[in-house]
Amino acid sequence: MPNALAGNYQSTVRKPDDFDAFWDAVLRQASGVALEPEVIPDPLRTSEDVEVFQVFYTSIDQVRVAAWYCRPARRVERTPAIMVLPGYQMDPPIPKEWARKGYVALSVAPRGKLRSNRQFNPGYPNLLTHNIVDRHTYAYRGFYVDTWRGIDFLLSRPEVDPARLGVTGSSQGGGLTITTAAMRSEVRAAAAGAPYLCGFTDAIELTHTYPYEEITDYLRLHPERRAAVEETLAYFDGICFADRIACPIIVNIGLQDNVCPPETGYALYGRVGAADKRLYPYDGHGHDAGRARHSAVVDQFFARHLLGREVSQ
């Protein structure tokens, strides 16, 4: 089945000629925004082994972004860090488990999420189609930058080892992992699960589930805008970011996933530029993408690349 999916489906995604120029300009604009980090201890959520903080920082368009920040109570002076990125509708979790494994951990709530929606709140559904005909104002322009600015926050922390940064997430978090690893060269290892935001135009033909169905609903109401929608989405498609990824990366997909079709996962993986990459396809699994089995693989992967040690599965 994996070979059939990989070989029989040809992705329609084409990278725009000015893709890199567009995003490099966005990064330059974002870098000119003062981060203004705010780190607030959260004693009610802190335990003997993990310190928990609420974090806020400024992103592009002067939007304040919220996050959870956890660190081991007992740690070395410079500690490796993991940034955890959220699914489409989920509220970002407090990443205490990552801290218990020996990492400083940041869990970001990009604009529109519950703790980051005072200045931007298109709602759900609507995030996926908000200003979808203009790449300069499309919702995910700021949303992507909000996650990339999480790297800036980690680099600002004296307890974080800047040479040992990782990023991970599943579904939307998997898609954000792809774009972050592509655009932030400081990332040293990435683990993307069931990556959403990859192969938009392929996915709306392959599946009729939400969130991708939001695009179909939009085009049903505005059929005359299809060309503009497809033009915009090409700038935000993880497949177009993939060739910029240089760090070690693992990707896991479910071969029966009807939310993020596995064909798009294969197309993404084929475009990843990193020499050290591996795909884990899980037969018999849907959008969970074999998460229960794969979590041990992710632990081992980050331990090897960020902690410098092997962890048995």
Q: C-alpha dihedral over 228, 231, 235, 238, to 10 degrees?
A: 110
Q: How many residues does the chain have?
A: 313
Which among 202, 237, 257, 288 is annotated as catalytic? 257
Q: Which tokens in the block code for residue 43? A: 């004693």
Distance CA 79, CA 59 (A): 25
SS3 call for 85: strand
Taking the C-alpha atoms of residue 88 and residue 265, their distance in angstroms, rounded to an integer, is: 17
User: Torsion angle of alpha carbons 244, 104, 295, 287, nearest 10°?
Assistant: -60
The tokens 């029966």 sit on which residue?
A: 256
- Is 79:119 a contact under the CB 8 Å cutoff? no
Q: At what angle do helices 172-183 and 139-155 cross, to 10 degrees?
A: 60
| Residue 191 to residue 165: CA distance in whole angstroms | 12
Please give the Cα distance from 171 to 10 (Å, whole number).
22
> Does the N-terminal peptide bond of residue 262 adopt cis geometry, omega within 30 degrees of 0?
no
245 half-sphere exposure, CB direction, 13 A CA radius? 34
Q: Which of 11, 107, 170, 171 is catalytic?
A: 171
Catalytic residue among 59, 146, 170, 285, which? 285
Smallest Cα–Cα separation from 122: which of 140, 107, 148?
Answer: 140
Element (H or E) spanning 230, and its range? helix 226-234
Task: For residue 173, give Cα distances in angstroms to 16, 185, 215.
Answer: 24, 18, 19
Our answer to whether residue 171 is catalytic in this structure is yes
Q: Which of 1, 13, 17, 82 is nearest to 303 (CA)?
A: 82
Residues noted as catalytic: 171, 257, 285
